[in-house]
Amino acid sequence: MLLIFGFRTRLRTVLEGVFHCPRCQQDRPFARKQARRWFTLFFLPVIPLKVAGEFIECQTCQGRFTDAVLDTPTTPVLAESMDKALEIIGATLRGEYAADHTVITGWVAPLAESMSVQGKEHMVSAATAQALDQGAMTTDRQAVVDTVGHALGLTDAHIRGIVSTVEASRPAPPA
């Protein structure tokens, strides 16, 4: 009697969702796939063996990634976090939070990793505009803007350039 046996790896989808694909650079559907080894008899999987591993697969480009890729926020989550951070910045400028600026850093710093340089510049511009809406740029207001820029990983020179650009683009107050 002839017995044909062997081992085979089969993939199973264990979770589906939406993530920010590093290859597509867009929010895409993903599947978390689990690879399991099987003992086969006549090419049919008969006995499940150990799990060989798991990975995240983009359903658009079929790129495969580690679980760490799920730590990057999707566009709606990032936008919501940015809105909340700008709300906190505005409240700090109005004096509703302590002057130590730890609340700002707590909301802004986690965003830095997911933001492009242009996004960081936009956030500092928005903080500068909020500061100037309160009146002239004082040292306290500048300190808030500096805290935002530093939490995003920008240099002092970069922050000063953004502030200067925003100040120059605003209309002069009536005399």
Write out pLDDT tens, residues 7-31: 888 889 899 999 999 999 889 999 9
Query: Do 18 and 27 form a contact (C-beta atoms < 8 A)?
Result: yes
The span from the CA of 93 to the CA of 34, in Å, is 49
pTM: 0.68
**128 contacts 141 by C-beta, under 8 angstroms:** no
pLDDT score for 135: 84
Q: What is the pLDDT of residues 152-167, one digit of tens each?
A: 999 999 999 999 999 9
* Residues 144 and 95: beta-carbon distance below 8 Å: no
